[in-house]
């Protein structure tokens, strides 16, 4: 028996083994494909109400923040409301969401000649609590944070710092709202 014939048989066997593994993986994937459903679909496979219906039944309380950050509380609340129910139509609320915010700002890069910051970080820390309205029982508590940075393009541009800070606040508020809505979505999907 020559080395070429052994090699061709071994190569043929490995190709058959690879093809068999591919067929087995494809069969498992096809069988499991029916078990998955879109997270934001209209109905679940069990016929219960979809995630969209459960999220739209969450009442978001007005977010109180210090007077300086009052605009930020409105931004976070509006982003949450849009994430839960973009259409604006709501039914009877089943859950109540309360959020508390704290903010901070820190200079990251400081100009050595003027001692003024060139880059700043803006941060929001949020603590949230979801209550079942029927039982007044807390079903979720958690906290999340967002840190974003912004540049201050020169000290002669007086309004650039204010505009950069406001954009950073808006970006951080969106991150906070996304984090909270994703946590609530996972709670409702898991059967909460």
| Tens digits of residue pLDDT in 118-132 | 778 889 999 999 999
pTM exceeding the 0.75 threshold for the entire prediction: no
The top-level CATH class assigned to 51-189 is alpha beta
- The residue with tokens 């958690």 is 142
HSE of 186, CA atoms in CB hemisphere, 13 A: 6
SS3 category, 20: helix
What pLDDT score was predicted for residue 15?
Answer: 63
| Tens digits of residue pLDDT in 136-184 | 999 999 999 999 988 777 666 778 778 888 898 999 999 999 999 999 9
What pLDDT score was predicted for residue 10?
Answer: 55
Contacts of 160 (CB under 8 A, 6+ apart): 152, 153, 154
| C-alpha–C-alpha distance, residues 86 and 1, integer Å | 73
Domain boundaries in the chain?
3-35, 51-189
| Residues facing 104 on adjacent strands | 123
Q: Where are the alpha helices (DSSP H) in the chain?
A: 3-32, 51-56, 70-84, 158-189
């Amino acid at each position: 028996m020559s080395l070429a014939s052994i090699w061709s048989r071994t190569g043929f066997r490995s190709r058959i083994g690879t093809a068999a593994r591919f067929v087995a993986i494809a069969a498992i994937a096809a069988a499991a494909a029916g078990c998955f459903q879109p997270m934001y679909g209209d109905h679940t496979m069990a016929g219960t109400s979809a995630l969209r219906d459960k999220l739209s039944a969450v009442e978001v309380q007005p977010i109180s923040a210090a007077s300086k950050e009052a605009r930020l509380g409105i931004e976070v609340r509006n982003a949450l409301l849009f994430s839960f129910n973009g259409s604006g139509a709501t039914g009877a609320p089943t859950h109540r969401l309360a959020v508390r915010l704290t903010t901070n700002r820190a200079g990251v890069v400081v100009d050595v000649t003027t001692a003024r910051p060139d880059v700043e970080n803006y941060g929001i820390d949020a603590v949230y609590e979801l209550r079942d309205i029927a039982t007044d029982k807390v079903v979720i508590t958690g906290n999340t944070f967002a840190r974003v940075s912004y540049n201050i393009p020169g000290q002669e541009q007086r309004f650039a710092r204010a505009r950069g800070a406001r954009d950073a606040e808006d970006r951080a508020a969106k991150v906070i709202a996304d984090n909270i809505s994703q946590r609530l979505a996972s709670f409702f999907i898991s059967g909460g």
